[in-house]
Structure 1
């Protein structure tokens, strides 16, 4: 995640009401000596233009679409690169096969010559000479074809490298374009300061109180999307009005409490990870929890015998119609202030937190996700779904052994120490409502999350790598759900939810959520049967994969025996389909390796090969194969053998 790029930030603004009209414009540099302080109309016109807001939004959306299409192109180029690797292997295999063919042909010619003329005096008749010359001609033609394939391979590799270089350049330009367009939508938070001070002055005058507003900008968070700022203005007005009416005491009361006669209202604006944070504080009387509890009982929100926590009581003021004021005035008593604040903030994907201390004041914290077009994110898989987590929220990634992780969970307060800081361990899948993934034998990925002052460590079943993503709105129905920042379209065209981890972490820590008990031997998710297909022919791998996937199998593939054994170290398949003739490690060797490994010994093996002779069948059986099919095989034959070995009832095709 990249926060909006702000210009050089001014010092914190602290303006009293009488200085209301004197807000400095820090964006204008000091004039040079001898130059007029007032810019000419022509100069001003050349520096600023008016742009229709809808047109700007349309341009930002179009720039986002460019990034999506670029992402699709990157995925396609990546696929082309993978296919080129397959092409390289195939060309190498053809070259080796041709070399063997040449040797075999030469051997047969010499053998025939020696048979016909053992003493070396015989001669070939014209038909024999023609036959051998034809074979040699075909051999030379094949040699030329192999050379052509090698040249074509080099050309394709060069084109792929050029395409990748162009995509990198296009990515940089596209990112600059999007950031520039987003920057044009940004406005300084201080632009609404005069309006907020008018609200304070009016409310203070009507309630006969004195109040002063202080505006603080920290962490480079003084710029916000224009649309979001407009939506935030009304809630902020409600909060300030509410603070004056219910929080700030009258001057006489403040003197008795040894406070200054002038109440202090402070708005602090900051950028924290993926969130824009606005804190509205006052130094008033704080909230009367007893009055809130009594009102909640009167409204039937809680039972009279209930003992809610302080935080639960404070949340009641966000309910519609809730007010502790005994008099109905233009400023208070109608119960339509805080519920409007909560509703408006939720509609823009934000949240409201409340804190209060009797006699010292209250603090309302508004958190709103950044409105960006592009961000950096880490892909994760939880349950059966993929999610994206903004990089700005990630403090680090670690890996640990399952036994070490289990030991951490046995602690009274499970936590992982990273870079000298303690991160409480939370279960990402349970927070997302996904079924738990059991621990395996492999190392576990731990994702350290930082959001504001909160920290947490998530066990992640699978990390999917780092990528640049385009943020797309998901609509008010979904964006109002805490923990959802937006959506993005991946290179393969699928929609993935972007997680705003801040609200999830705060809610989990607030409720004391612990990691769910680990299921080591029981997996509550419906699992697909995992099949590993090892064949050096890309065509056979694709055909076999398509057949198995049509019968609801999960399929992983390997190009040779070595790659197959590496994959089996990560995941134990339910079924292994092997070709015999493969580079580096053939099918017989793979089968023998599987039968010698205690983890893999029970995996059924089906050998699929063009070697159909009894000698090869016997050797395959000796190596540990359970079934033997000859290429080309029939789909029905393969599926029948597979279901027989897995002891499953065969499902109707289609």
Structure 2
């Protein structure tokens, strides 16, 4: 079991920030906060409609409208801050989990925590516990070696698990890292071939092999235990993170360790988006996915037939995903050089370029769920009301690109050698 000093060190490192002084806080029903957030969302929509009306009538935006825009954003940020809570309330559960895992596995593990005062929406925090627990269990059971194995590899007998949180570009990054054995990609690939997930002759990159661990029911554990090896867990983690509007990425080096990074929105109510025209439809692409936008030269685009193409972006070929095909829009541009390509970063397929007719603008959008009235549609994350009163679908970039890859053959599209073979 872990040395007696370790649990004390863990508890001290994960201590959440002190509560507010008496008289500096009040208790309030969550339903009242939800009503406030909904009202703020409607205010954002109303402000956008007012600005749109002035623009459509040829009137220049006045200084008062600019002030209103700033006040609306201030109110929105203040309302979101009321719902925000320190992530330390989730991190504080980890030391107990670590002690239980150390006792059941016989591994010595030290926990290092940082960023526990980082705040995000209460709803996100409430749904973060399960995926975080899965990742910690996975790190201790699969990642960190037993003391004798670590000593034989020239490491200290005590492993280290790091847990951190930080704000970056309007999102929150949560990292769970270990200094264990890293992902054995040969073993993962062999298991994936055995289970029929990939073809025996498939040429996968390191990143693609790593993502195989998120396949439903996938496990390389040789024995089943209460911790892992039951064929459930990592696929649940990925789905939970996706349901929160986030993504999960992996960095791993064999013999050095593995780090999982969760990128999550600060709130599930309002987001920054890029409004685009695609044929007869107007869509919103989440700004969190956007890398850049450009108009390609003819020589930078290589057609592969059947609505497939690759684009050369500074020496790197990435697949072109025509949005009009994905959403069934009519009257859209079909040649990449005739439209605008939005380069996006996806969770499972790397970078891709979304083909749109034009970019309208960039704005805050109020996210409206469609789950109440419609079944889940892959590639659609929700909807929003634009300034002119129209409803626009919000694109689920990860789901849409993944579906396009599956329909057109991912290997041909995501690697330069596929381009060479198709040429």
TM-score (norm 1): 0.51
The 5 A counterparts of 1:485-564 are: 485-499=381-395, 501=397, 511=411, 513=413
Measured after TM superposition, the shift of residue 307 of structure 1 is 4.8
Correspondent of 1:264 among 154, 160, 181: 160
What do the CA deviations read for 1:190-210 (whole angstroms, capped 9, x no partner)? 332221122112201211111
Instruction: Tell me how far apart the structure 2 counterparts of residues 303 and 399 of structure 1 sit (CA, whole Å).
Output: 35
Match of 2:31 in 1: 54
Whether the 8 Å CA contact 2:170–2:266 is kept in 1: the answer is yes
Structure 1 residues 296 and 242: CA distance shift in structure 2, 3 A: same
Equivalent residue for 1:473? 369
Does the alignment pair 1:384 with 2:280? yes
The corresponding residue for 1:236 is: 132
Give the RMSD, CA atoms, in angstroms. 4.4
> How far apart are 1:458 and its partner, in Å?
4.9
Secondary structure, in 3 states, of the residue corresponding to 1:278?
A: strand
Question: What does residue 311 of structure 2 align with?
Answer: 414
Deviations 1:576-621 (A, max 9, x none): xxxxxxxxxxxxxxxxxxxxxxxxxxxxxxxxxxxxxxxxxxxxxx
Normalized per residue, the structure richer in helix is 1
Kindly indicate whether the alpha-carbon contact (under 8 Å) linking 1:478 and 1:484 is maintained by their aligned counterparts in 2. Answer: no
1:409 deviates by: 1.6
Q: Give the conservation status (yes or no) of the 8 Å contact 1:350–1:480.
A: no
CA separation of 1:273 and 1:479: change in aligned 2, threshold 3 A: farther
Q: Distance in 2 between matches of 1:49 and 1:437?
A: 55
Output aligned runs, 1:310-389, within 5 Å: 314-371=210-267, 373-389=269-285
**Structure 1 residue 252 corresponds to structure 2 residue 148:** yes
Q: Which structure has the highest strand share of the two?
A: 2
Going from structure 1 to structure 2, the CA distance change for 1:171 and 1:16 (only over 3 Å counts) comes to farther
Distance 2:198 2:15 in 1: 54
Alpha-carbon distance, 1:393 to partner: 5.3
- Deviation track 1:33-64 (CA, whole Å, cap 9, x = no partner) reads xxxxxx9xxx9333111122222122101211
C-alpha deviations, 1:350-402, integer Å up to 9, x for none?
344445443333333333344254444332112332112345655655557xx
Secondary structure class of the residue paired with 1:242? helix
The reply to whether residue 66 of structure 1 matches residue 56 of structure 2 is no
Contact kept in structure 1, 2:14 and 2:92, CA below 8 Å: no
Give distance in 1, aligned partners of 2:412 and 2:201. Answer: 20
Distance change >3 Å, CA 180–CA 458, structure 1 → 2: same
Which of 15, 19, 23 aligns to 2:9? It is 19
* Greater C-alpha radius of gyration: 1
CA distance in 2, matches of 1:416, 1:320: 33
- Among candidates 302, 314, 320, match of residue 426 of structure 1: 320
Distance 1:423 1:289 in 2: 25
Residues paired across the two proteins, number: 397
How far apart, in 2, do the equivalents of 1:329 and 1:482 lie?
Answer: 34
Question: Which consecutive residues of structure 2, in runs of 5 or more, have no partner in the other structure?
Answer: 304-308, 416-423
* Counterpart-to-counterpart distance in 2, 1:230 and 1:463: 36
Residues 464-502 of structure 1, C-alpha deviations (whole Å, 9 max, x = no match): 234443233343998977765542101232221233557
CA distance in 2, matches of 1:338, 1:430: 33
**Offset at 1:237?**
0.9
C-alpha displacement of 1:427 = 4.0
Distance 1:484 1:201, change over 3 A: farther
Residue 170 (1) aligns with residue 68 (2): yes
Provide the C-alpha distance between the structure 1 equivalents of 2:191 and 2:280, rounded to a whole number of angstroms: 45
- SS of 2:150's equivalent in the other structure is helix
Contact 2:40/2:75, CA 8 A, preserved across alignment: yes
TM-score, with length taken from structure 2? 0.75
Q: Tell me the distance in 2 between the aligned counterparts of 1:240 and 1:205.
A: 15
**Partner residue in 1 for 2:103:** 205
